[in-house]
Every structure is written in structure tokens, then in C-alpha cells.
A = this chain, B = another copy of it.
């Protein structure tokens, strides 16, 4: 029997969050667009993951390394996305990462994409990331040193 408890995923208020801990430029190519002439809705998640991955790399946490040494895979537990305005072919975007919460079990990030030329965010998301053991598929804590490096900065940054 399907047993899914109703619950809410909240989208962050970016204004209160202070500056991102990471930003990345991403160009829109044909592969990203669809016949509507805009970036396909699922492909924003690819952009968000690129930014998360490169951010984690700056912290010393490279996916392949964590897998090879610890058998650890990052997985997305849940997400919420607000599509506010479209992006089009050849657009250049800035995709960022903000830390909302970092714990052993999981961390929650806010991520937004805005035009590189300036302007309001086009797409805003909240993503909860956890780690699993590749062999068993079960939840395993995030590495302690990584959690420490991911602490939210209370707007100090």
C-alpha cells in the first residue's frame, strides 16, 4: 500500500540568506532546450547538480574519490523548485549554492539560477542531499570533516 505522509518542502527566501558560498557560470546549449524554445524543466536540475559538485570539489570532496575510498554516493532526498522565468539558447547563467543546514545525516541547500547579465533569479530551489553506502544502498552519514566545512555562515560571507 502506498504510504506517503503529506508534508511540505519549503522554498527559501534568498534575501535573508546572505551571499552564496559558491557560484558557477553555465551556458545554455541546444541540448538543454526543448521545442518550447526554453530550457527544459528537468535540465535545471542538471545545472544545480553541476554547481553542487564543483562546490563540493572546492571543499575537497570529489564524487569519484568518495566513492572509491569510502563507497559513498551522494543522493538527493527531496527537492522543491520554483520556475519563475525561462532561459533560452545561448543565455549565460550564474548558478549558486547556499547552505541552509548541514548535519551528519543530510544537508539542505538553497540554489538559484540568475542571468549572468544581472537580474532576478529565474529558478530557485531547495535540495536535501544525503549519502548512501554504494554496496548496501543504505543511508550513511556524510563525512564529518565535510559537514564541518559546510556550516552555514550566518550571513557572514
Interface residues of A, Cβ cutoff 8 Å to B: 1-16, 27, 29-31, 33-38, 40-43, 45-46, 49-50, 53-54, 57, 62-65, 67, 73, 75-84, 86, 88-90, 112, 114, 120-121, 124, 134, 137
Contact = CB atoms under 8 A, between A and B. Distances in A.
Contacts of A124: 4
A86 B81 contact: no
Counting every copy of the chain, the complex holds 4
Contact of A89 (B5, B8, B35, B54): B35
A82 B31 contact: no
A77 B80 CA distance: 11
- Binding site of A, secondary structure by majority: helix, strand, loop or mixed? mixed
A114 to B, nearest CB: 7
A90 B50 CA distance: 10
Contacts of A36: 30, 73, 75, 134
B11 A7 contact: yes
Contacts of A64: 88-90
Given A34-B33, A88-B35, A89-B63, A4 B49 contact: no
B15 A3 contact: yes
20 contacts: A2-B14, A3-B15, A4-B84, A4-B112, A5-B13, A6-B13, A30-B34, A30-B36, A30-B49, A31-B42, A31-B49, A35-B89, A36-B134, A37-B134, A41-B49, A41-B75, A64-B88, A64-B89, A65-B90, A80-B81
